A and B are shown apart, each in its own frame.
Chain A
Amino acid sequence: DSGVTQTPKHLITATGQRVTLRCSPRSGDLSVYWYQQSLDQGLQFLIQYYNGEERAKGNILERFSAQQFPDLHSELNLSSLELGDSALYFCASSVGPSEAYEQYFGPGTRLTVT
């Protein structure tokens, strides 16, 4: 158990809908990362937050947004869902914003868009 929690574990929804994925980092970690894992793309970095502020953006679609709250949990919002958004979404956390700190991953949310 990494100490990172994610809910829900599974999500099935229809195209065009909006969903929210939730992540709680390990105790003491200030950075939260979101990654998407699909069969053809592998693990892709989406976005990073550090202590409530956006730190870095990767290949995140405009239909996707995220935020980190004062209690440090984070939410990833996916809207106008398309079939191609079906994937595993992982949250990870680390102590600091960069400096090669280890990132610990949560169990993931499996999103299926039908």
Chain B
Amino acid sequence: EDQVTQSPEALRLQEGESSSLNCSYTVSGLRGLFWYRQDPGKGPEFLFTLYSAGEEKEKERLKATLTKKESFLHITAPKPEDSATYLCAVQSSLGSSNTGKLIFGQGTTLQVKP
């Protein structure tokens, strides 16, 4: 069964203190791994799509990387406005899963203190 596990559940950082969020996945053929940011009571905001092991993508203070079993979201010198829940999701490419269905992890809630 396709599954996504994120760790830690919650992370508190001081402003400027870099860290990484982890997303471990098992999927029957990975079509894509997605990172989203979600603010309380709002819809998830798309950040990155990664397609194959070794791929990396960057946006401002965020960098996402992918291996065959996990993905990391590195946050460099975070600011208070980076506080949010970060969600990881996978899309499978095999068999009856040939759809756009995303399987989400439970998320990591990040708090950055000034």
Please give the residue numbers on chain A whose beta carbons come within 8 Å of chain B beta carbons, in ascending order.
2, 4, 31, 33, 35, 42-45, 48, 50, 55-56, 58, 88, 90, 92, 94, 96-108, 110
Task: Give the residues in chain A near B41, CB-CB below 8 Å.
Answer: 88, 108, 110
Q: Is there an interface contact between A48 and B101, defined as CB atoms closer than 8 Å?
A: yes
B34 at the A interface (CB under 8 A): yes
Q: Of B20-28, B44-52, B64-72, which stretch is located at the interface?
A: B44-52
| Beta-carbon nearest neighbor of B103 in chain A | A45
Task: Give the residues in chain B near A105, CB-CB below 8 Å.
Answer: 36, 43-46
Q: Is there an interface contact between B42 and A100, defined as CB atoms closer than 8 Å?
A: no
| Beta-carbon nearest neighbor of A32 in chain B | B100
Q: Is there an interface contact between A42 and B31, defined as CB atoms closer than 8 Å?
A: no
Give which listed residue, A44, A94, A100, A104, contacts B31 with CB less than 8 A.
A100
Q: Is there an interface contact between B101 and A58, defined as CB atoms closer than 8 Å?
A: yes
B83 at the A interface (CB under 8 A): no
Interchain residue pairs with CB less than 8 A apart (10) = A35-B102, A42-B105, A42-B106, A43-B104, A45-B102, A58-B101, A88-B41, A102-B46, A103-B102, A105-B43
Output the least CB separation between A64 and chain B (Å).
16
Q: Is there an interface contact between B100 and A108, defined as CB atoms closer than 8 Å?
A: no
